[in-house]
Chains A and B, each alone.
Chain A
Amino acid sequence: MRNIIIILIFLLLFPLTASISAPRDDYLGQLEKMAKQFDDSFSGFSVERGKELYFRKSTTGKAETPSCTTCHSDSPLKAGQTRAGKPIDPMAVSKTPSRFTDIEKIEKWFRRNCKSVLGRECTPIEKGDFITFLMSQ
């Protein structure tokens, strides 16, 4: 009897957890395809490279925003803050489960923030690395 209840609970929860993360997996899948076109030697996204991007000090973007940490704080587990003082939820998926689940939103902020910090758009590999790093946190 107990087993049946447990199975029932799993069956009920499964579509919920699956539907929250589905857009994230879709998006990563799209990025992976683009990454392969972008670079023949691409062999998967990297937590290490994503971490390096998160903490990188850039000199090629706008002076006010030298790093992703300028707004997203020096830990993906902590809340950040915009330059105008508005709080930003932590970037780590474990802390903010809704992270990277709305493709238009992700694309909009990658475009803006990469241009502000790096002075150019991020490559598909950088985007995938960044998300992979934050899923690991």
Chain B
Amino acid sequence: MKIKNKLIITIFSLPLIATPLALTASDDNVPPIKNKLVLEECGACHLAFQPAFLPAISWEKMMNELENHFGEDASLDKEMTREITNYMMANAQKNKIVNFDNPPLRITELRWFKHEHGEREAKNMLNKKKLNSYVDCAACHKGADKGYYDDD
């Protein structure tokens, strides 16, 4: 199973780097979040990241370990956890082959992301705004909460 997964990933990973978001609704937009609970609870510490950035298995894993969320306790009660998990999984990135044994949890570590933000323009913005990482999307993408990332 493991070897088969990895094979599929290698075969498919090349075109996937080039077309990071071609799998989402329109060309430049990522569908915005329409669920109030998700906006509120997942937007408390950072921008509520749109579900289409990660595959369903990633959200499932992340939602299962909220007590240990990137070095913080972000836990919620059972009912909220269930509602948010359902929403994120239902609106997740589709048609992408992923490694089920080790799904990605960070958008900022995806290959297309590093590719888009590896150019001098993004790096200069990072330094100018004195950010330590790319996690604060809205610092550079003013329309990030609406799913609009092509504004620079």
Contacts and interface: CB of A to CB of B under 8 A. Distances in A.
Interface in A103-134: 108, 111-113, 115-116
A84 B73 contact: no
A111 B45 contact: no
Interface in A34-88: 62-65, 82-86
- In which size bucket is the chain B interface? 10 to 19
Nearest to B75: A112
A65 B71 contact: yes
Contacts, number: 41
B76 A108 contact: yes
Which of B71, B72, B75, B135 has the most A CB atoms < 10 Å from its CB? B72
B140 to A, nearest CB: 11
A85 B135 contact: yes
A62 B71 contact: yes
Interface of A: 62-65, 82-86, 108, 111-113, 115-116
Interface of B: 44-47, 67, 71-76, 131, 135-136, 139
